Amino acid sequence: MITLIKFGTSGWRAKIAEHYTVANLRKIAVATALHIKNNRKYGYGGEEYEFFLKSKGRNKPPFPLVVVGYDTRFFSEIAARIVSEVFAYHGIHVVFSNIESPTPVVGWMVIELGAVGGVVITASHNPPEYNGFKWTPFWGGPASVEITRDIEEKIFSITDLQAEKYIDFETAINNGIIKVVDFHENYFNQIKKIIDFKIIKTFKGSVVTDSIFGCARSYLRKIVESAGIKVKGIREERDVYFGGKAPDTDEENLSALKEIVVKEKHSLGIACDGDADRFGIITSNGKWLSPNIVLALCYYHLINNKKLKGGVVRSVMTTHMVDVIAKENGFDVRETPVGFKYIGELLRTGEYVIGGEESGGLSVRGHVPEKDGILACLLILELMAYERKELEKIIENLEKRYGKFYNMRINFKISDSTDITQIIAKLEKNPPLKIASKSVWRIDTTDGFKFILKDGDWLGLRPSGTEPVVRIYAESRSNDFLMKIIEEGKKIFNV
């Protein structure tokens, strides 16, 4: 059904064969093609698109050009071909990945080629029964609400007859409308402008890379190996079931990586999720690092070791440890709603050296304004090479300098009897003035509710807009008090 095609924070996702069908893919492809051809701001003739090309010193292609990539999920390459066939019918040329391609790689190829945008067929870290469609505009990062709304509105006017018009994939290749290309070299060249591989070559330890059966499988180990480091790759074969779990980089899903790192005495374990936009880090003693501490480590590394100057952008539910680092070094912090599109928009200004969120995504100035798990892993490796220390020791030194921050996120499924709207209305009208005996200093409603206490500890509450789940976030300088804050959050949502 057309009405089921709705963009979320990172594209459209649905269950394969239920709503993720050939018919719906063709409709969303037609709508995107019409956006490319007709939108006066972001389309092929759009003023924002042409201004962006000039700012990057790139010439406008003689025809609308789109980059298309896909992940390792069931049906992904076929879906990517279906979308490309529709584009070809509408006169839109396609640069098509010759193998599964990470989301940030597609983003970089869009910028590099001066394309009007890119499509990634992916459901990222969602369970294996899902797939998706992500539109990446010409700036190489997540689409704004304005753009996705334009595409959604166009879907409603598309007839079944319009959606059935396409040019066969092989015919389009023969006609020169679709070109199949290897994206690796272009992306690796870009990464080598950001990461100092001369320094990485001095790293004396060994690394385990975990692709979690996703599309980092031909990227992550290969780029680390190019520095001459001893690397062991795991879960690099294609498995459309991802071992029976969602291809996320959470602690539970990296248990196999943890076991190998410890048992075989490796220096570091690094991982990427299904479309390689999220990262996972395991220390030599088998500790899984939360994305919060990884973001703090990377920011510290950029401004202290690499001597970059600039602030940090973080989402509202992300650690305040980066705030302390920024303040000590005289830089600004910007807080955004949840969703990397908001972070990416600020990264594009060039005022901030890094942007990240607690869910496992970050990027840096001069790169794609999109989460890049491969880049995050390499930044940690570069940090260790610079400091010539084990990661545990680097963290210990960081916490001695800036203090220790304990944080946690918990997802709770709520019962049908729980009225979320009523709870939200109550929080808006009568918010708690104390959390676990401490006074609430400020309430931030940028995205959900964030109760900031006088000493800087905080509790965040966010109901999901798409599923019966509430998310409880908390941060404290005391682990004991962190657990008290979490319990307060549970009571508010009756979970």
What predicted TM-score, i.e. pTM, was given to this entire model? 0.95
37: Cα within 13 Å, side-chain hemisphere: 14
- Per-residue pLDDT band for 468 (boundaries 50, 70, 90) equals low
The pLDDT assigned to 495 comes to 56
Pairing state of beta strands 333-336 and 311-315?
A: parallel
The pLDDT assigned to 422 comes to 81
Burial grade of 388 (CB within 10 A; 0-12, 13-18, 19 or more): exposed
User: Rounded CA gap, 354 and 358, in Å?
Assistant: 13
Neighbours of 106 (CB within 10 A): 30
The mean predicted confidence, pLDDT, of the chain is: 94
User: Rounded CA gap, 360 and 409, in Å?
Assistant: 12
- The 10s digit of each residue's pLDDT in 83-142 is 999 999 999 999 999 999 999 999 999 999 999 999 999 999 999 999 999 999 999 999
- The 10s digit of each residue's pLDDT in 250-305 is 999 999 999 999 999 999 999 999 999 999 999 999 999 999 999 999 999 999 99
- The 10s digit of each residue's pLDDT in 208-226 is 999 999 999 999 999 999 9
The pLDDT assigned to 171 comes to 98
Structural domains in the chain, CATH included, are 2-182 (3.40.120.10), 187-402 (3.40.120.10), 406-493 (3.30.310.50)
Element holding 393 (H helix, E strand): helix 391-402
* Interval 169-176 mean pLDDT: 98
CB distance 443 to 431 below 8 Å: yes
Question: Two tokens at 246?
Answer: 């969602």
User: Rounded CA gap, 471 and 109, in Å?
Assistant: 34
pLDDT value at 444 more than 70: yes
pLDDT value at 415 more than 80: no
The pLDDT assigned to 268 comes to 98
Sign of CA dihedral 80, 245, 276, 182: negative
- Per-residue pLDDT band for 412 (boundaries 50, 70, 90) equals confident
- Per-residue pLDDT band for 387 (boundaries 50, 70, 90) equals very high
pLDDT value at 469 more than 80: no
pLDDT value at 467 more than 80: no
Burial grade of 102 (CB within 10 A; 0-12, 13-18, 19 or more): buried
The pLDDT assigned to 1 comes to 42
Q: Percentage of the chain surpassing pLDDT 70?
A: 97
pLDDT value at 454 more than 50: yes
Cα 256 to Cα 269, 284, 289, 348, 366: the distances in Å are: 10, 14, 15, 37, 34
- Per-residue pLDDT band for 9 (boundaries 50, 70, 90) equals confident
Question: Which has more pLDDT, 17 or 493?
Answer: 17
* Interval 9-35 mean pLDDT: 94
